[in-house]
Amino acid sequence: MKLCCITPPVKKVFDVVELLDLFEVYETESSALDSLA
């Protein structure tokens, strides 16, 4: 699963509960979409 445009507080929570290892995180929607190609 891919996530994009998440705010710093949300990213911090994901990091604390170690969920960032389960998701691909992208800064922008366009970079997430580009990764699908």
**How are beta strands 24-26 and 2-4 bridged, if at all?**
parallel
Tokens of 12: 């911090």
The backbone torsions φ and ψ at residue 6, rounded to the nearest 5 degrees and listed phi first, read: -80, 145
**Cα–Cα distance for residue pair 20/13, rounded to 1 Å:** 9
Output the pLDDT for position 14: 94
4 Cβ contact partners less than 8 Å away, ≥ 6 residues apart:
25, 26, 27, 28, 29, 31, 32
Residue 2's closest CA among 34, 37, 31, 32? 32
Could you report the per-residue pLDDT of 1-37, keeping only the tens digit for each? 899 999 999 999 999 999 999 999 999 999 999 999 8
Total-model pTM: 0.73
